């Protein structure tokens, strides 16, 4: 690739080196970005559509996708399709592939995601042996899906549990906002974090945090934030696993109702009645009982996730934003908070006063976001692009050239 870049830089007037590949002017102010070069041997025997996946899939994986033989292949297809449909996701995966291969590991999309399996695997370690054994056979993990969501899918190929990377980013920035005061993060950055989080949920924030971090926080702060996010992701996977363990996917009152969605994977998604959602919340936590008590991080993560969803719901009303899919198919987050608290009974680590304090903190954060957006452009929450943490971003980078 380096030789190809050098040739283009010499042969084409106005050609410029990009962070990944080379950018060539093609007239009328337009440019062509060449990210990678695929040789004839690599694409031998592959169709054009299949060869298009070589940037981020191994050849073996592409051949597997010709016929889905089980749920692992289904998860691979879901991940590959999500990246193939997004130029931004492709650039992120190219950068990830380069870092992965620099550590002398053979690249495959599945290998990369296996290296990020800690959220659901750490949750499974908390379970009783019978449940753990059952869930270990269910393919699960992250995918580069635009919509911030987590789902349990019963496909013709088998059951799959998947969470979008964007949801993990949403939790990260919400944690900065809600916990930043105790982490010595300035209020302006907490407000920026709220803005980024809402933009992620609106599909407006560019999902390229790997190659364009929105800020570089102190290492000790990052460790604390990642610990918070991990607890939230554990509960998220636990909630989806609970739908499986409680046999919700097999019940007639779990209705398939996603035919109009633009997300292909959601067409096979089940929409549960509200009692199933309450049950999944509670079971996700009680499933981790050891010595009579649930895992403290999972319980903490559960109430944080529900608090963030409550905040999101209120912000949608405040700014008249389109409701997210989770708002349309799930009971209200405030109901879920109270039901989880009452379901845990005497073993609940919080009180009614704690819940009141949580909701008050959410209202305070609404005011912070409102102040952050005052006097700004009307489409600040919906315009595609990137927002940065003011105190932790010394220099803005130029898209494609610097990252």
Structural domain range at position 33: 2-37
- pTM assigned to the model: 0.92
Residue 47 lies in a domain: no
Per DSSP, the three-state class of 290 is: strand
Residues 249 and 313 in one domain: yes
Q: How many other C-beta atoms lie within 10 A of the C-beta of residue 239?
A: 21
Higher pLDDT, 186 or 253: 186
For the chain, what is the mean pLDDT? 91
Whether residues 88 and 32 share a domain: the answer is: no
Instruction: Tell me, yes or no, whether 322 lies in a domain.
Output: yes
Q: Which residue has the tokens 């659901």?
A: 120
Residue 8 in domain: yes
pLDDT > 50? residue 256: no
Confidence of residue 323 (pLDDT cuts 50, 70, 90): confident
Out of 81, 115, 149, a domain closes at 115
Query: Is the domain of 258 the same as that of 382?
Result: yes
Whether 211 and 187 map to the same domain: the answer is yes
Please indicate, yes or no, whether residues 91 and 151 belong to a single structural domain of this protein: no
Residue 324's pLDDT is 67
Asked if pLDDT for residue 270 goes beyond 90, the answer is no
Is 400 among the domain residues?
no
**Can you point out the beta strands (E) in 254-330?**
255-256, 270-271
What confidence score (pLDDT) does residue 129 get?
Answer: 93
pLDDT at 166: 97
pLDDT computed for residue 140 by the predictor:
98
In a domain, residue 82? The reply is: yes
| Number of domains forming the structure of the chain | 3
Residue 383 in this model has a pLDDT that exceeds 60: yes
Rounded to whole angstroms, what are the CA distances from 262 to 146, 259, 265, 297? 11, 9, 9, 35
Query: Where does 180-295 have alpha helices with state H?
Result: 187-202, 219-245, 274-286
pLDDT band of 90, cuts 50, 70, 90:
very high
Other beta carbons less than 10 A from residue 116's beta carbon: 13
| pLDDT bracket for residue 258 (50, 70, 90) | very low
In a domain, 123, yes or no: no
What does the pLDDT look like over 101-121, one tens digit per residue?
999 999 999 999 999 999 999
Residue the block writes with tokens 């370690």: 125
Residue 393, SS3 per DSSP:
coil
71 and 30, same structural domain?
A: no
177 and 316 in a single domain? The answer is yes
pLDDT bucket at 322, cuts 50 / 70 / 90: confident
Instruction: Using CA atoms of 296, 300, 301, 304 in order, give the dihedral in degrees to the nearest 10.
Output: 180
Shared-domain flag, residues 239 and 305: yes
Residue 122: inside a domain: no
Q: Identify the helix (H) or strand (E) that includes residue 163.
A: strand 158-164
CA angle 197, 200, 202 (to 5 degrees): 115
Same domain, 285 and 226: yes
The average pLDDT across 127-139 equals: 95
- In this structure, is residue 168 part of a structural domain? yes
Average pLDDT over residues 184-212: 97
Q: Can you say how many angstroms the Cα of residue 89 is from the centroid of all Cα atoms in its chain?
A: 12
Same domain, 33 and 61: no
Both 181 and 248 in one domain: the answer is: yes
Order across the sheet with 16-17: list the strands. 16-17, 22-27, 30-34
Q: Which residue, chain included where needed, has tokens 């102190």?
A: 218
Same domain assignment for residues 10 and 158: no
Is 327 a residue whose pLDDT tops 70? no
């Amino acid at each position: 690739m380096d030789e190809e870049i050098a040739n283009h830089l010499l042969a084409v007037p106005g050609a410029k080196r990009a962070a990944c590949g080379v950018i060539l002017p093609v007239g009328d102010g337009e440019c062509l970005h060449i990210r990678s070069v695929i040789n004839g041997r690599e694409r031998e025997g592959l169709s054009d559509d299949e060869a298009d996946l070589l940037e981020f899939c191994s050849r073996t994986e592409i051949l597997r996708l010709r016929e889905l033989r089980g749920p692992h292949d289904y998860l691979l297809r879901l991940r590959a399709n999500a990246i193939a449909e997004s130029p931004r996701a492709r650039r992120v995966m190219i950068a990830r592939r380069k870092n992965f291969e620099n550590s002398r590991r053979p690249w495959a999309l599945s290998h990369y995601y296996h290296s990020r399996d800690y959220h659901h695997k750490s949750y499974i370690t908390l379970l009783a042996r019978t449940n753990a054994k059952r869930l270990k056979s269910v393919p699960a993990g992250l995918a580069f899906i635009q919509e911030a969501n987590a789902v349990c899918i019963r496909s013709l190929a088998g059951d799959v549990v998947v969470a979008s990377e964007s949801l993990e980013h949403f939790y990260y920035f919400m944690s900065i906002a809600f916990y930043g005061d105790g982490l010595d993060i300035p209020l302006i950055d907490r407000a920026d974090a709220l803005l980024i989080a809402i933009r992620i949920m609106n599909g407006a924030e560019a999902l390229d945090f790997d190659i364009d971090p929105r800020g570089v926080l102190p290492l000790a702060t990052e460790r604390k934030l990642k610990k918070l996010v991990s607890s939230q992701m554990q509960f998220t996977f636990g909630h989806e696993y609970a739908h499986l363990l409680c046999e919700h996917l097999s019940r007639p009152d779990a209705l398939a109702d996603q035919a109009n969605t633009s997300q292909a994977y959601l067409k096979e998604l089940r929409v549960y009645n509200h009692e199933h959602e309450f049950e999944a919340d509670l079971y996700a936590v009680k499933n981790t009982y050891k010595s009579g008590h649930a895992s403290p991080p999972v319980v903490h993560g559960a109430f944080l996730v529900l608090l963030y969803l409550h905040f999101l719901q209120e912000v949608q009303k405040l700014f008249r934003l389109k409701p997210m899919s989770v708002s349309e198919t799930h009971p209200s987050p405030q109901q879920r908070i109270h039901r989880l608290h009452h379901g845990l009974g005497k073993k609940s680590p919080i009180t009614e006063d704690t819940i009141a304090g949580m909701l008050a903190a959410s209202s305070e954060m609404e005011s912070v976001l409102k102040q952050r957006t005052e006097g700004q452009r009307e489409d600040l929450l919906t315009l595609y692009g990137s927002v940065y943490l003011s105190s932790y971003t010394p220099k803005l980078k130029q898209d494609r050239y610097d990252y």
